[in-house]
Amino acid sequence: MVSATAFLAATTLLAKALGTAALGEPLHPLQVSFGRFLFAWMAIVTVLAVLRPRLTRPDYRMHLARTLCGWGGVTLMFAAAAMIPLSDATAISFLNPVFAMLLAIPLLGERVGPWRWLAAFVALAGAMILVRPGSGAVEAGALLALGAALVLGLELIFMKRLSGREGPLQILIVNNSIGLAIAATAASFVWQAPSAAQWAALGALGLVMAAAQGFFINAMARAEASFVTPFSYLTLVFAALYDAVLFGVSPSMLSVLGALVIIAGAALLAWREAVNRRRSAR
């Protein structure tokens, strides 16, 4: 999950560049989302051709529901990243683990103990520090990011249900095939010719997203959703690091505090899970 967050932060940065004037005339979020699905699909097909894994009959209804949530959430996030500061957009959208944890109780039948609740709310407190309510963050872009958090939280539930039935590569290819069809249809209404630099960024976006999905699905297959999803808050930390290294943007003291609180929540969750595993092994 930590590896997935490093890649996810990189996709948001690329989307920000594509949705602003950094690489030329800004592209519409629907077109950025199309590039993400197109190049991710090409990467996954290449991996399938090399590895040739055994495929089973997919649950197309579950895949369609998951893909609609994923496409909608990603598109909303790309739109938000182009409208408000990247740290704010990322912080707001990554409230989705809290939504996922809450949804996992009725939809997956998971039991969430007090330590997991505490860890999740510590991480949520860190996100709130980064959002800084009352500082003007609650605007159209922030509402888009909040919508992305809710939709992506629901996607986590569908992903968890699929990960116990189908292999990671099968989930990836079916998801990205359906997503590519949806994204291509939507992008056709707002299409404009990308520049060479924008095509390169779109290609990088798709490849990095494919890698992030691979790590993420494997994480979901190895532990309960309520355990692994809070670690996705680390995307905020990686986004700040990329800003500092690539663009020379130093985070404020509040941003550092928020990141430390988020890490504390993830560390608390990891520590408690290790304790539970040691007890069950006795």
What pLDDT, on the 0 to 100 scale, is given for residue 137? Answer: 45
CA 136 to chain centre: 24
Alpha carbon distance 239, 241 (integer Å): 5
What pLDDT, on the 0 to 100 scale, is given for residue 213? Answer: 79
The candidate with the shortest Cα–Cα distance to 233, out of 90, 78, 82, 85, is 90
What pLDDT, on the 0 to 100 scale, is given for residue 231? Answer: 78
- Sequence letter at residue 222: R
Identify whether the C-beta of residue 149 lies closer than 8 Å to the C-beta of residue 127. no
Give the list of residues 6+ apart from residue 168 with CB closer than 8 angstroms, or none.
Answer: 214, 217, 218, 221
What pLDDT, on the 0 to 100 scale, is given for residue 131? Answer: 66
Alpha carbon distance 260, 90 (integer Å): 16
Global pTM value: 0.76
Per-residue tens of pLDDT for the chain, all 282 residues: 889 989 988 988 898 889 888 888 999 999 999 998 999 899 889 988 998 888 888 889 999 999 999 999 989 988 888 887 777 777 777 677 777 877 878 877 777 788 888 888 887 887 777 666 655 545 677 778 888 888 988 988 888 788 778 887 888 899 989 999 999 999 999 999 999 999 999 999 988 988 887 888 788 778 776 677 677 778 878 887 887 777 677 777 877 787 788 778 777 776 776 677 677 766
